[in-house]
Amino acid sequence: MSAAEGPLVVGVDTSTQSTKALVVDVATGRIVASGQAPHTVTTGAGRESDPRQWWDALLEALRQCGEPAREAAAVSVGGQQHGLVTLDAQGEPVRPALLWNDVRSAPQAHRLTEELGGAKGWAERTGSVPTASFTVTKWAWLAEHEPEAARATRAVRLPHDYLTERLTGQGTTDRGDASGTGWWSSGTEAYDEEVLAHVGLDPALLPRLVRPGEVAGTVRDGHGLPFSKGTLVACGTGDNAAAALGLGVRPGVPVMSLGTSGTVYAVSRRRTADPTGTVAGFADARGDWLPLACTLNCTLAVDRVAALLHLDREAVEPGRGVTLLPYLDGERTPNLPGASGLLHGLRHDTTGGQLLQAAYDGAVHALLGALDLVLEEDADRSAPLLLIGGGARGTAWQETVRRLSGRPVQVPEAKELVALGAAAQAAGLLTGEDPAAVARRWNTAAGPVLEAVERDEETLARISGVLSDAAPLLDRDHGVQGG
């Protein structure tokens, strides 16, 4: 391994399934070392994880990085958004964290929306209309269903906050991740005391908001960490804001991320307030905004369909007439939290490969519909769509996005963009640079551009028609309609 040309930093991505760590050369962006360790997600009534697993996974990922991690001058954590981490007086979890894709709080989301100004009021107040993914709805669910756990809670954190606090001993968060809670005001960029009072959450239980570029703290002694005492810790951010940093995204450039969830977003200079609830008006990690739409069902849902059909995930076949809405975990976009999957148009001559292609089509259709709302009216609709996430390298995903979007698609060669964004954030502490500028200097968005093909309007119209007709049926057992 060649010597680094500049100081080293560590970027961390704590996602739903695993924690990854990259050691990156600040001067060149070269990944000097990496490590990864898995988490366990319990499934059943909801989606939960023990936060202590994230810490253990971080220690293991750093151990795999070896000596370069010990030389790091700064570290930053990017993490899955929205998760509710409740800690007791000793800093230990009161219960497993409720993850972003736990939809048990859909009734609370509906009720909170109605009780505090309706969808328009929420959008103007927080930038977003709360869904079952948002942290505020999860706290409301906890207070209602597990009041003893709520009473025992002495600190409320997001997943990235939890790891940052274990690094520094201080409770901090950033505007990017805080904007996904539902209790952060996008107008004042502070916690919204009326929302907190309404759900019975003491503001003293929340972490301190750290400004972009501000040091969150320094690494404390011991705890199995390879870092030297006093190593700088950046404020960190949510995974989508971190990925935007990792790409060095400029305003107006569209991004589609294909992972456990699917997201579409673009950096904007203007604060977003979408009363339909389709677009969440998140903040980015720099001082701008990150209007974003998210679907719950993306790569895992399509892989599940492939497994049920005993097919490789690439074994798609072209076909017309069959529609599959892969809403296996409920859905957030469209907002149908009680939904399940729906198959329409099945015939004797329908093949397994056509069913699998229909699952891809259903997943991408939801994302592209949301992208039209994310982008501002004057955005260049012919600009390449940046395709990232675990699914971005799959041929079936690439071709489906090209066919249904009608846009050129660029696939960055850099893989771990959340961790790279966190690393750029850590690098900015050392150099004084804008982290997005650091990432552009590292050329993280470089990758092949797939030319545009004619947009498949027939398939898009068919899926839209099936969804429109089936929406009441899809969510009838839940009783929650719309935002």
130 within 8 A of 274, measured Cβ to Cβ: no
Separation CA 13–CA 422 (nearest Å) = 8
* Structure tokens, 298: 């993306």
Separation CA 126–CA 116 (nearest Å) = 11
- Catalytic residue from among 102, 174, 239, 475: 239
Q: Give the closest residue to 436 by CA, choosing from 299, 322, 284, 321.
A: 284
* Structure tokens, 430: 């050392």
Q: Give the closest residue to 264 by CA, choosing from 387, 182, 176, 126.
A: 387
The strand ranges marked E within 401-480 are 409-410, 449-450
Using N-to-C axis directions, what is the helix angle for 395-405 and 352-374, rounded to 10°?
A: 50
191 within 8 A of 206, measured Cβ to Cβ: yes
**CA count, 13 A, side-chain hemisphere, 125:** 21
Active site residue 329: no
Q: How far is CA 436 from CA 123, 250, 267, 417, 427, in A?
A: 27, 8, 11, 12, 10
Helix ranges (H only) for 47-158 are: 51-65, 67-70, 106-115, 118-126, 135-145, 147-152
Separation CA 75–CA 22 (nearest Å) = 10
> Which residues form the catalytic set?
239
